[in-house]
Structure 1
Amino acid sequence: MSEILQRLGAVTLNNNHLSYLPHFSDLVPASVPSPSPTVDASQVPVLFREPYILSGYRPPLQDWRCYVLSLFQRHNESLNVWTHLLAVPAILLCWWAKARDLGYALDAASLPLAVFLVSALTYMTFSAAAHLLQSHSERAHYFFFFLDYVGVAAYQYGCALGHYFYSSEPAWKKSYVGLLFLQGAAFFAWLSCAGCCFAKFRYRRPYPWQRKICQLIPTSLAYLLDISPVVHRLATVPWSREPSLPFHALQIGCFLLAAVFFSCPVPERFFPGKCDLVGHGHQIFHAFLSLCTLFQLEALFQDYAKRRDTVVEVFGESQLWWACGSFPALFLCCLATALVAMRHMKEPPQVNRKRDK
Structure 2
Amino acid sequence: MSHDILQRLSTLTLNIKHLGRIPHLSDFIPSSLPLPSPTVTASQVPSLFREPYILSGYRPIQQDWRCYFLSLFQRHNESLNVWTHLLAGPVLLLRWWANIGALGYTLDAASLPLSLFLVSSFTYLFFSVAAHLLQSHSKHAHYFFFFMDYVGVAVYQYGCSLGHYFYTSEPAWRESCIGLLFLPGAAFFGWLSCAGCCFAKSRYRRPYPLQRKICQLIPTTLAYLLDISPVAHRLLTVSWTQEPSLPFHALQIACFLLSALFFSCPVPERFFPGQCDFVGQGHQIFHLFLSLCTVFQLEALFQDYARRRDMVVEVFGERQLWWGCVSFPALFLWCILTALVSMRHMNKQLQGKQERDE
Query: Which of the five TM-score ranges fits, normalised by the shorter chain?
Result: over 0.9
Residue identity over aligned pairs, in percent, reads: 77
Once structures 1 and 2 are overlaid, which stretch shifts more, 19-28 or 41-50? Answer: 19-28
C-alpha spacing 1:209/1:39, structure 2 compared with 1 (3 Å) = same
Q: How many residues align?
A: 342
- Shift of the alpha carbon at 1:19? 9.2
Structure 2 unaligned spans of 5+: 1-8
Residue 136 of structure 2 is aligned to residue 148 of structure 1:
no
Rounded to whole Å, the distance in 2 between the matches of 1:81 and 1:281 is 14
- Shift of the alpha carbon at 1:27? 1.4
Rounded to whole Å, the distance in 1 between the matches of 2:242 and 2:352 is 59
SS state at 1:309 partner: helix
SS state at 1:347 partner: helix
SS state at 2:109 partner: coil
1:66: which partner in 2? Answer: 67
Rounded to whole Å, the distance in 1 between the matches of 2:289 and 2:130 is 19
Structure 1 unaligned spans of 5+: 1-6
Once structures 1 and 2 are overlaid, which stretch shifts more, 22-31 or 229-238? Answer: 22-31
1:326: which partner in 2? Answer: 327
Rounded to whole Å, the distance in 2 between the matches of 1:45 and 1:237 is 53
- Shift of the alpha carbon at 1:26? 2.2
Q: TM-score, normalised by structure 1?
A: 0.92
Once structures 1 and 2 are overlaid, which stretch shifts more, 19-28 or 332-341? Answer: 19-28
- Shift of the alpha carbon at 1:97? 1.2
Rounded to whole Å, the distance in 1 between the matches of 2:352 and 2:213 is 21
Rounded to whole Å, the distance in 2 between the matches of 1:18 and 1:311 is 59
Residue 350 of structure 2 is aligned to residue 347 of structure 1:
yes
SS state at 2:124 partner: helix
1:173: which partner in 2? Answer: 174
Q: Which amino acid aligns with 1:274?
A: Q
Q: Which amino acid aligns with 1:80?
A: N
C-alpha spacing 1:201/1:100, structure 2 compared with 1 (3 Å) = same
1:233: which partner in 2? Answer: 234
Q: Which amino acid aligns with 1:231?
A: A
- Shift of the alpha carbon at 1:350? 5.8
Rounded to whole Å, the distance in 2 between the matches of 1:192 and 1:146 is 11
1:214: which partner in 2? Answer: 215
Q: Which amino acid aligns with 1:68?
A: F
Rounded to whole Å, the distance in 2 between the matches of 1:154 and 1:43 is 35
Deviations 1:54-113 (A, max 9, x none): 000000000000000000000000000000000000001100111122331110100000
Rounded to whole Å, the distance in 2 between the matches of 1:21 and 1:53 is 28
Deviations 1:188-221 (A, max 9, x none): 0000000000000000001010000000000000
- Shift of the alpha carbon at 1:22? 3.1
Q: Which amino acid aligns with 1:133?
A: L
Q: How is 1:165-314 mapped onto 2 (pairs within 5 angstroms)?
A: 165-314=166-315
Q: TM-score, normalised by structure 2?
A: 0.92
Task: Let me know the Cα RMSD of the aligned residues.
Answer: 2.1
Q: Which amino acid aligns with 1:247?
A: F
2:167/2:305 contact within 8 Å kept: yes
